[in-house]
């Protein structure tokens, strides 16, 4: 089937124009999605390199395609940097996303029908743990841990009992609403007793772990980590596997889980960008992790002082990049997230413990990875809280709030914590320079 050239040229123009408008919008906005971040210029340019066009199935030195010498060089360096950043003896950088990394682990370390430990979605677990997600695809049976509502973390005593009874082979620790470190050290003896492998999904907190500001799962009792690489670790949209104290057979199974299990080709351009991001995090990540957490705590405190129901006030609200706010009084998670987006404060509605409807949850989730990356600090966190208070508690006009949001963002549109600091953060890369 063919279509008129003029119509298809219009389709191309429409895409380019929408992406340009998106870029301009985000340059003016306050993006507070906890799972998003900005890519450094040296990492970003690799996304449009020739690596994008190539195949490299297999591992460095043992490929199924020719022409991979430089790909091998970059992948070996990427693996070295990953092992070094996380103190891991094992790394695999072929999973193309966090969920794909999770599937690789499930394929390698569990069989269909096996019980696998995890938290419930409403307690903050990722959709990988759901029957409609990776757990369901591998047909493993979730064994849900107990949850301590007061401490917003796993209930150790209840979970010990649950694990001893269900005896899962694999126990997943990881959250998408990740406020506090999980009690892995406290559960490590139980994992050993039942012969379970501890698995940490660090997607949200990899950058904080690597920066030395969160728990260190490989030293606390987990043997394998999965993650996406674009949240607090400000890399490309990609996935990673890391491990320590694994048997050679387990490493082999993980490699074969990644390829040919859940990838054919991996994405070489994002892998190269990941290598740059890992190097930059080794250089700048500690300061970035500290600033990101300090900003999350400052934002939570400022919101709390303005009457918002921020979770876990008795625990200092958060020890991560994320804070959660129960916005039932303000109209519920969905309505509030929409009202905020209309003034260019970008958040997401989020399930809170006890919620059952993911469409109409009580919460919103706020994250500071991106605003920290462009150099915002405590004063700006207080200002964001004031703007949210004005919109949601004081009936200030949305148009005025939106102007103030743009005013607040204006000086913060270049990148920090990377080489080429000060380069534009939201630039649209217009390679052709003209529309068709
Ligand atoms: N669901 C994404 C989030 O936390 O926003 C992660 O995959």
Model pLDDT for residues 103-116, shown as the tens digit of each residue: 999 999 999 999 99
Give burial (CB, 10 Å; 0-12/13-18/19+) of 278: buried
List the beta bridge partners of residue 228. Answer: 239
**How many angstroms separate the alpha carbon of residue 37 from the centre of ligand 1?**
12
Q: pTM of the prediction?
A: 0.97
Which ligand 1 atom sits nearest the alpha carbon of residue 33? 5
Give the per-residue pLDDT at 9: 98
pLDDT tens figures, 380-403: 999 999 999 999 999 999 999 999
Q: Within 13 Å of residue 372, how many CA atoms lie on the same side as its CB?
A: 35
- Phi (first) and psi of residue 241, to 5 degrees: -120, 140
pLDDT tens figures, 333-349: 999 999 999 999 999 99
The fold adopted by the segment(s) 44-278 is 3.40.640
Average pLDDT, the chain: 97
DSSP-assigned letter for residue 430: -
Give the per-residue pLDDT at 431: 87
Q: Where are the domains of the chain?
A: 44-278
Give the per-residue pLDDT at 358: 86
Task: Find the DSSP H helices in 239-317.
Answer: 248-256, 268-305
**How many angstroms separate the alpha carbon of residue 402 from the centre of ligand 1?**
26
Cβ partners under 8 Å of residue 210, min gap 6: 85, 86, 233, 281, 282, 285, 289
The alpha carbon of 393 is separated from its chain's Cα centroid by a whole number of angstroms, namely 30
Closest alpha carbon to 227 in 255, 206, 254: 206
Average of pLDDT values for 404-410?
98
CA gap 63, 80 in Å, rounded = 19
Average of pLDDT values for 153-180?
97
Above 90 in pLDDT, residue 429? no
Above 90 in pLDDT, residue 259? yes
Average of pLDDT values for 351-363?
91
Closest alpha carbon to 99 in 144, 53, 130: 130
Average of pLDDT values for 178-190?
98
Ligand 1 test: best mutation among 31, 34, 35, 178, most atoms within 8 Å of CB?
Answer: 35
Which ligand 1 atom sits nearest the alpha carbon of residue 127? 1
Average of pLDDT values for 262-280?
98
The reply to whether ligand 1 has any atom less than 6 angstroms from the CB of 232 is: no
Give the per-residue pLDDT at 232: 98
pLDDT tens figures, 1-12: 899 999 999 999
**How many angstroms separate the alpha carbon of residue 22 from the centre of ligand 1?**
20
Q: Which residue has the tokens 């490590």?
A: 188
The reply to whether ligand 1 has any atom less than 6 angstroms from the CB of 176 is: yes
**How many angstroms separate the alpha carbon of residue 122 from the centre of ligand 1?**
13
Give the per-residue pLDDT at 364: 98
DSSP H/E element including 30 = strand 30-31
Give the per-residue pLDDT at 354: 87
CA gap 120, 146 in Å, rounded = 9
Hey, which bits of 114-228 come out as E strands?
115-118, 141-144, 147-148, 153-154, 170-173, 197-201, 224-228
The reply to whether ligand 1 has any atom less than 6 angstroms from the CB of 37 is: no
Instruction: Determine contact, residues 409/30, Cβ cutoff 8 Å.
Output: yes
Average of pLDDT values for 284-301?
98
């Amino acid at each position: 089937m063919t279509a008129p050239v003029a119509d298809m040229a219009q389709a191309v123009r429409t895409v380019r124009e929408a992406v340009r408008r998106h870029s301009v919008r985000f340059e003016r906005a306050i993006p507070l999605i906890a799972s998003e971040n900005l890519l450094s210029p040296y990492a970003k340019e690799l996304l449009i390199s020739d690596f994008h066009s190539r195949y490299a199935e297999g591992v460095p030195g043992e490929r199924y395609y020719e022409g991979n010498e430089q790909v091998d060089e970059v992948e070996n360096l990427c693996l070295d940097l990953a092992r070094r950043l996380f103190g891991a003896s094992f790394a695999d950088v072929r999973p193309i996303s966090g969920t794909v990394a999770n599937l690789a682990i499930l394929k390698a370390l569990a069989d269909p029908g096996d019980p696998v430990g995890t938290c419930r979605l409403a307690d903050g677990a990722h959709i990988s743990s759901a029957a409609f997600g990776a757990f369901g695809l591998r047909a493993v049976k979730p064994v849900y841990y107990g949850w301590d509502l007061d401490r917003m973390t796993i209930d150790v005593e209840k979970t010990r009992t649950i694990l001893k009874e269900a005896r899962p082979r694999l126990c997943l620790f990881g959250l998408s609403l990740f406020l506090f470190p999980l009690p892995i050290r406290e559960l490590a003896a139980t994992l050993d007793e039942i012969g379970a492998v501890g698995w940490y999904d660090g997607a949200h907190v990899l950058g904080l772990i690597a920066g030395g500001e969160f728990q260190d799962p490989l030293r606390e009792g987990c043997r394998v980590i999965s993650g996406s690489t674009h949240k607090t670790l400000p890399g490309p949209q990609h996935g990673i596997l890391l491990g320590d104290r694994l048997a050679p057979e387990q490493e082999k199974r993980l490699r074969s889980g990644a390829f040919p299990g859940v990838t054919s080709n991996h994405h070489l351009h994002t892998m190269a960008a990941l290598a740059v991001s890992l190097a930059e995090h080794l250089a700048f990540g500690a300061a970035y992790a500290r600033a990101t957490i300090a900003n999350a705590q400052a934002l939570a405190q400022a919101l709390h002082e303005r009457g918002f129901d921020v979770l876990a006030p008795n625990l200092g609200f958060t020890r991560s990049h994320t804070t959660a706010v129960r916005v039932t009084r303000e109209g519920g998670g969905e309505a509030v997230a929409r009202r905020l987006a209309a003034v260019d404060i970008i958040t997401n509605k989020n399930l809170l413990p006890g919620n059952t409807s993911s469409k109409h949850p009580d919460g919103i989730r706020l994250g500071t990875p991106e605003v920290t990356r462009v150099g915002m600090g405590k004063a700006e966190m207080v200002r964001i809280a004031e703007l949210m208070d004005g919109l949601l508690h004081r009936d200030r006009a949305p148009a005025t709030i939106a102007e103030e949001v743009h005013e607040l963002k204006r000086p913060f549109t270049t990148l920090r914590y990377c080489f080429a600091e000060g380069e534009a953060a939201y630039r649209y890369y217009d390679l052709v320079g003209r529309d068709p």
